[in-house]
Structure 1
């Protein structure tokens, strides 16, 4: 059994749901399989082949289908490559390269080489935001623009939410849906299907639990490309105010927006992101 799943049956259930979402993908797409030093990496590609490239990196406990709600809009302007990050509940290898090393960037080197890219814009959310930022710092000539949604590695990582999530469990009132809503900030009725997916995944999946490395002021100041960061003011995972402050103070071409009444899951921002990417 893969170490990233609790049971083999759970792994099969996640794969089944993933395939179900792919069948409902709203526009024509290709499923690409790219060999990398961390194992096979799956990429869902769509949009005009002659359009500018855009790499999409999802968050922890997710996969490429995290972009399905926005992909129709994105693919009007870009050749979009939604990457299934390794070690996450998608179709890529279960390998988890060390975050405190160059291993993640080397994996992305292989992905981009397999896609035939020398430079691209990137959009990343949460762990995917950390991954895109790490890559831009290590490979600044390969990233033209960077849009980050609730990224890790800039503001302080919070753990107070864990007490709120764990205490009911210790008292015999474990409610995975309540905990998922607490972490993501998703509560609106129209977002219920998204929350359903989160609950279904974490019923069977074991996420990475290590603290994300925080980028230094010097590393942030070294970024030459335009950077857009969007965070929610109710994010229980990362300190949004600190994230926004460091982006504005340290990244030469950095812009940050703190979104009111929004948690860790930054949703409904595709138009703002596309305006930035196409500027």
Structure 2
């Protein structure tokens, strides 16, 4: 098995940041490990241990620890099982799965089995949303309810945005100037207010220490996805360069039998959710009536 890290010290640096960010959550958490046919998988179990269980998938080239900082609003309400996607930074095995096909879905299905659940509520963002979409195709009966935020796998755009990011990214890698790191991030974030210290530190670690994965989970097949009747909420960014709302929100209702959509108006791939939007997600996962179609 190859390494996903650039140097022998890169994994240590990544896990040190991972643990610092977990501690900064300021809540109780514990490590869980489960075995799958694809490799050993790590999860962070946290949140409200008396609440409904939710399986959480993080974004690509990132970590569960950083994702939990973004999902703090879920912590008071749900018993979170936040999984380190296999082959990505974190504490799961480093075996990389192909972005095409449905291997990620089979892996996620085995994680649910290993945790001892027949089905789970699920939350996935970006790359993790693509993993969740693959799970919904492979084992629709294991998804009780799902929220996909700026997800891969539904309406992927041509990788023009990724190409535009290459120039400042190469400049950053050549000289380490943080100005170019921020320029790279702004192609996804659109506005500076999204780029807080945790986000910048996570991006820096990813670019400095991780062999970046460019390939995102490919679009799922419509026939497979139509088998999933779980209530689903899909949120997409109007100005997302990777998975734009105009593509994601147009296709999602066509392939998901029980789908509600919501546009993150004016926002890119990296974004901030309003309190109203956070409450909408919590209510949806708790089982309240689904929201009206998004604006």
Q: TM-score if structure 1 supplies the norm length?
A: 0.90
1:274 aligns with 2:282: yes
Q: 1:70 to 1:100 in 2, by over 3 A?
A: closer
**Equivalent of residue 212 in structure 2, options 188, 207, 212:** 207
Tell me the equivalent position of 2:54: 54
Q: CA deviation at 1:63?
A: 1.3
In structure 1, what is the Cα distance between the partners aligned to 2:211 and 2:189?
A: 17
In structure 2, what is the Cα distance between the partners aligned to 1:270 and 1:34?
A: 30
Which blocks of at least 5 consecutive residues in structure 1 are unaligned?
A: none
Does the CA contact (< 8 Å) of 1:149 and 1:266 recur in 2?
no
Tell me the equivalent position of 2:186: 181
Tell me the equivalent position of 1:195: 200
| SS of 1:110 mapped into structure 2 | helix
1:73 aligns with 2:73: yes
Tell me the equivalent position of 1:144: 144
Deviations along 1:177-209, one digit per CA (max 9) or x if unpaired, are: 311221243521773432332222222111222
Deviations along 1:115-161, one digit per CA (max 9) or x if unpaired, are: 11111000000111011111112111110111001101111323212
Does the CA contact (< 8 Å) of 1:186 and 1:265 recur in 2?
no
Correspondences of 1:103-114 after superposition (within 5 Å):
103-114=103-114
Deviations along 1:86-142, one digit per CA (max 9) or x if unpaired, are: 111111111112333442233223322221111100000011101111111211111
Correspondences of 1:229-240 after superposition (within 5 Å):
229-240=234-245
Deviations along 1:223-253, one digit per CA (max 9) or x if unpaired, are: 2111111111111112321100111333221
Q: TM-score if structure 2 supplies the norm length?
A: 0.85
Q: CA deviation at 1:211?
A: 4.9
Note the aligned Cα RMSD (angstroms).
2.4
Tell me the equivalent position of 1:15: 15
Which range moved further: 15-24 or 172-181?
172-181
**For this pair of structures, how many residues does the alignment match?**
279
Which range moved further: 219-228 or 144-153?
219-228
In structure 1, what is the Cα distance between the partners aligned to 2:57 and 2:163?
A: 29
In structure 2, what is the Cα distance between the partners aligned to 1:204 and 1:168?
A: 17
Tell me the equivalent position of 2:90: 90
Which range moved further: 242-251 or 118-127?
242-251
